[in-house]
Amino acid sequence: MTTRSETQTTLDHLLTEIEHRNPAQPEFHQAAHEVLETLAPVVAARPEYAEPGLIERLVEPERQVIFRVPWQDDQGRVRVNRGFRVEFNSALGPYKGGLRFHPSVNLGVIKFLGFEQIFKNALTGLGIGGGKGGSDFDPHGRSDAEVMRFCQSFMTELYRHIGEHTDIPAGDIGVGGREIGYLFGQYRRITNRWEAGVLTGKGQGWGGSLIRPEATGYGNVLFAAAMLRERGEDLEGQTAVVSGSGNVAIYTIEKLTALGANAVTCSDSSGYVVDEKGIDLDLLKQIKEVERGRVDAYAERRGASARFVPGGRVWEVPADLALPSATQNELNEADAEALIRNGVKAVSEGANMPTTPEAVHLLQQAGVAFGPGKAANAGGVAVSALEMAQNHARTAWTAARVEEELASIMTSIHSTCHETAERYGAPGDYVTGANIAGFERVADAMLAQGVI
């Protein structure tokens, strides 16, 4: 039988090979390293996982599509962006994962997101594979007409690679209800099919699900609450710092407030706001969702309780809970040290891989409960899968039913991660628990389906 140290040596060699085969993709390297460094116990215990090149297949996408996206701005100038769709693994079901429109998007970013999505989707137990896509297009500051023309051009290529039984995109950073609407309209126009299940995050009047916009933020708070319960505490009266001011951050703040916590921050690329009275959700939604403005406007209009810190980092604000909800690698080692000094009890990731490996290590060493994104922010994709179920049945569920299903799924994910970590000798380590639990589900399906 192979020992754990021998297995880890093999995995380390594979990580070196991944870096060699995928140059200049640091985000993907980071995501692969974070998973593979936790798998030695399970591979040593179940050597069948090492036999048919299973892990080598797992880290190689089944399909990678890169395409040109030409579109015309309002001045008549032709612009050209690059589109991506990485269909990573379909052992458990059709590829499922969002589209991100942001200047930072490149192949390495999409591969990291798609790789994370494999395990996140597996943890939901809902029979969906992992994929991700997007473009380096920046919708910020663009007119509705420009966004529409871009989305139509993007879908003109993407449509041939997706479908409700093949690949079902959703939204992500830069892709909200407006963009999903334009994308769906073009898909319908090209295919002449009302295939509601091909995209999730749709409007509620035409195939969307109630609670879908809220799901990622709500789910993250539910996961954080479960981690606290494991330690004999609850959210009531806790102070929370939240980064970001987009969809995930807004509904994280909303659920924290509903469960009795006090969320005191929000942020964007210009800096952050701290509001001693707690973030005023109505004002934040007006500025970010209606006016598409910046968070400094919140401080100007909120009054004496709020102040804007240009270029600052929310993690310097003392709090019991931290919920990074903006983007990858936004919480670094220095930020973790500041949180620990200020007595943080739990960190739960609303964004994808927002905490650097060094920061994760520090937080875990300090005994902080740490919820990795593949578990903590799985609520969004879970409700996307529930949207697919409603589309298939041509029906719509009540908000109460969807929220009940979401709460059940997040509780199950927490229990699975916690129990798996204990089973493999890492009690309280949600990173190890999430990685191994997700891996086991995907690996068992891959073994059953043969070498493909």
CATH classification of the domain holding 221:
3.40.50.720
AA letter at 26 = P
Q: Is the pLDDT of residue 8 over 90?
A: no
Number of domains in the chain: 3
Same domain for 371 and 222: yes
- Looking at 353, 376, 399, the residue that finishes a domain is 376
Q: Is the pLDDT of residue 374 over 80?
A: yes
In the DSSP assignment, the letter for residue 201 is: S
How many angstroms separate the Cα of 124 from the Cα of each of 98, 175, 375? 16, 23, 8
Same domain for 32 and 109: no
How many angstroms separate the Cα of 85 from the Cα of each of 34, 171, 233, 383, 438? 22, 13, 42, 21, 22
Q: How sure is the predictor about 400, in pLDDT bands with cuts at 50, 70 and 90?
A: very high
Q: Is residue 155 part of a domain?
A: yes
Same domain for 365 and 245: yes
Same domain for 372 and 243: yes
132 given a catalytic annotation: yes
Same domain for 174 and 92: yes
* CB of 208 closer than 8 Å to CB of 383: no
Query: pLDDT tens, 187-220?
Result: 999 999 999 999 999 999 999 999 999 999 999 9
Q: Is the pLDDT of residue 252 over 80?
A: yes
Query: pLDDT tens, 89-125?
Result: 999 999 999 999 999 999 999 999 999 999 999 999 9
Q: Is residue 333 part of a domain?
A: yes
Closest CA to 273 of 236, 315, 237, 306: 306
Phi/psi at 441 (5° precision):
-65, -45
How far apart CA 177 and CA 162 sit, in angstroms, is 19
Query: What is the arithmetic mean of pLDDT over 273-283?
Result: 97
Query: What is the arithmetic mean of pLDDT over 250-256?
Result: 98
Same domain for 264 and 160: no
Query: What is the arithmetic mean of pLDDT over 36-45?
Result: 95
Query: pLDDT tens, 336-362?
Result: 999 999 999 999 999 999 999 999 999
Q: Is residue 448 part of a domain?
A: no
Q: What integer pLDDT is reported at residue 114 of this predicted model?
A: 98
* CB of 328 closer than 8 Å to CB of 352: yes
Closest CA to 144 of 184, 181, 97: 181
- Looking at 161, 194, 227, the residue that finishes a domain is 194
At residue 172, the 3 state secondary structure works out as coil
CATH classification of the domain holding 116:
3.40.50.10860
Q: Is residue 185 part of a domain?
A: yes
Range of the domain at 88: 63-194
Same domain for 359 and 251: yes
Minimum mean pLDDT range among 16-25, 45-54, 128-137: 45-54
Q: Is residue 97 part of a domain?
A: yes
AA letter at 8 = Q
Same domain for 366 and 222: yes
- Looking at 376, 407, 437, the residue that finishes a domain is 376
pTM for the model = 0.95
Q: Is residue 42 part of a domain?
A: yes
* CB of 321 closer than 8 Å to CB of 348: yes
Same domain for 232 and 367: yes
Same domain for 285 and 173: no
Same domain for 114 and 22: no
In 252-338, at which residue ranges do the beta strands (DSSP E only) sit? 262-263, 265-268, 271-275, 306-310, 321-323
**Of the residues 96, 120, 132, 202, which is catalytic?**
132
Phi/psi at 173 (5° precision):
-55, 130
Q: What integer pLDDT is reported at residue 1 of this predicted model?
A: 55
Same domain for 79 and 49: no
- For the chain, the first-to-last Cα distance in angstroms comes to 26
Q: Is the pLDDT of residue 156 over 80?
A: yes
Q: What integer pLDDT is reported at residue 292 of this predicted model?
A: 86
Q: What integer pLDDT is reported at residue 7 of this predicted model?
A: 87
Closest CA to 180 of 223, 133, 112, 237: 133
Q: Is residue 210 part of a domain?
A: no
Q: What integer pLDDT is reported at residue 354 of this predicted model?
A: 97
Query: What is the arithmetic mean of pLDDT over 376-394?
Result: 97
Q: Is residue 243 part of a domain?
A: yes
Query: pLDDT tens, 215-247?
Result: 999 999 999 999 999 999 999 999 999 999 999
